[in-house]
Structure 1
């Protein structure tokens, strides 16, 4: 279970580092006033930065339930093929969601990736409820 959790951590850091680099570049080039980043007010960042910021925030919303699930599975020594497969599916769909969000950002495609990943997350918790 630790490997899918670690993969999602890597995705989160990847997006966070891209966001930081983008913000730095936008401030340095003057596209965004440097003071904007103190309170996130007084300017409007480019769409690319806004997409990165929103995606980064997304990676701290639903995934919190994923990390809690993984921690419980590890702590209770409940490793099994089904939850592991669901976990990898969840991580893969979060990566797909990120790729769509930061790419063409087609709302229906992004929503479908989000929806299916949420269903997998619910299935993980359902499995956990059954085995505990």
Structure 2
């Protein structure tokens, strides 16, 4: 379960770099005042700043449930092919989701990948419930 967690960490790190580059680039090109970032309000914000920032923030929403489930598998020594496959598929859908969010931002495609990833986390939690919940 560690490898899907590490892959998710790498994805978050990449989205963070894309976000930082967009911010620094727009400040350098004087398309946004650096003071905007103090409270994230106060002026017209270029789409790239909003899109990358929201994509980065989004990496700390549903993925938190993924990390907790993954750590539960590890901490309890629970091995599950269902959980492992669901974890990898989750990371795949999160990567696709981030790509869509940072490029075309197609709402329907983004929602589809979000919900498919969400279902993977649900599968992980249900799998944990079946494997561990009955023992406590």
Whether TM exceeds 0.5 here: the answer is yes
Aligned CA-pair RMSD: 0.9
1:35-74 to 2 correspondence within 5 Å?
35-74=35-74
- 3-state DSSP of counterpart to 1:113: helix
> Per-residue deviation at 1:44?
2.3
- List runs of 5+ in structure 2 lacking aligned partners: none
> Per-residue deviation at 1:131?
0.4
Alpha-carbon separation, structure 2, partners of 1:15 and 1:40: 18
Alpha-carbon separation, structure 2, partners of 1:111 and 1:36: 29
Which residue of 2 is the match for residue 9 of structure 1? 9
- List runs of 5+ in structure 1 lacking aligned partners: none
In the superposition, the TM-score normalised over structure 1's length comes to: 0.96
Alpha-carbon separation, structure 1, partners of 2:103 and 2:24: 20
- 3-state DSSP of counterpart to 2:4: helix
> Matched residue pairs, number?
132
In the superposition, the TM-score normalised over structure 2's length comes to: 0.94
> Per-residue deviation at 1:95?
0.4
1:43-122 to 2 correspondence within 5 Å?
43-122=43-122
